[in-house]
Amino acid sequence: MKLFKNKSKKNWSDITLGQIQEIDSLPKYDDEIDLIINYLSVIWNKDASYIENLPVTTIINGFEEWAFINDKPTSASTPIIKLKGKKYGAIELSTMTLAQMVDIEEYISEGLMLNLHKIFSVIYLPIKSFNPITKKYTTVEYQPSVERQDVFLGGTMDILYPQMLFFWSIVKIYLEDLQSSSKMKMRTIHTEMVKEMITKESPTQTEQLKQ
C-alpha cells in the first residue's frame, strides 16, 4: 500500500542514509497514523509527541512532501563521489584486500542496512591523487575509520542510493565467487591431504595383511 501521494516537494537530497536506516528499523504498525507519525519523527528529527500535537493538515501535507520515496533516484552511479567537501573514489573490487573483504562480510552479517555506512567506508576511500585528463585516481590505503563511517551516515541519498544499488550487486557477486573459490581450494587441499595419508599408510597395511 502506498502511503505517499505524488505531491512531493522534497527529493533524495533531503534525506540522509542515517535517516533511511532509522526508517528501515521502525517496527511494523497496524495503525497508519502511527506509521505516519513515526516516519515524520525521523524525517523531521522531532519527537513523536511533537508530531502528535501538530494540526492534522500539517501532518498530512508534511507526509505528502516525501512522495519521492516511492521512486528510485534517477541519477547514475559514479566511481567518484563528494561528501562534505571531500572526494571519495570507489576501489577496484579485483584489488580488494583481505582486510576489506573481512570487514565487509562482518558488516553484512551484522545487518546490511544497519551497517551500510560502514560498507560504504570500505568501498569508497579518500582520493589521494587524480589525473584530470585520464580521470584515473588513487586512494589512500584502507584503514577502518569511524570518522569516515559517520561521513557516509550523514550522506544524502541522491548521492548514495545509486552507488548502493550498483556496488551492492557487484560486491555480493564478488564475495560469493570468492567464497566459492575458497571452498573449492579447501576441498582440493583436503583431498590432497587424504591422498597423502593413504599413500603413507598403504605399505604398512599391506605388510599387516601378508602376516
Q: Quick one: which of 163, 77, 162 has its CA closest to 122?
A: 163
User: Would you state the cell numbers that stand for residue 201, as one nine-digit string?
Assistant: 599408510
- Cβ-contact 120, 108 below 8 angstroms: no
What is the predicted pLDDT for the residue at 202?
Answer: 47
Please tell me the distance from the alpha carbon of residue 169 to that of residue 166, in angstroms, as a whole number.
6
The residue with cell 585520464 is: 134
User: How many Cβ atoms sit within 10 Å of the Cβ of residue 72?
Assistant: 11
- Mean pLDDT per 10-residue run, the chain (211 residues)? 54 90 85 84 90 89 80 78 94 86 89 90 94 93 96 93 74 58 44 47 43 46
pTM given for the model: 0.72
User: Would you state the cell numbers that stand for residue 128, as one nine-digit string?
Assistant: 589521494
- Cβ-contact 171, 104 below 8 angstroms: yes
What is the predicted pLDDT for the residue at 169?
Answer: 64
Please tell me the distance from the alpha carbon of residue 142 to that of residue 155, in angstroms, as a whole number.
20
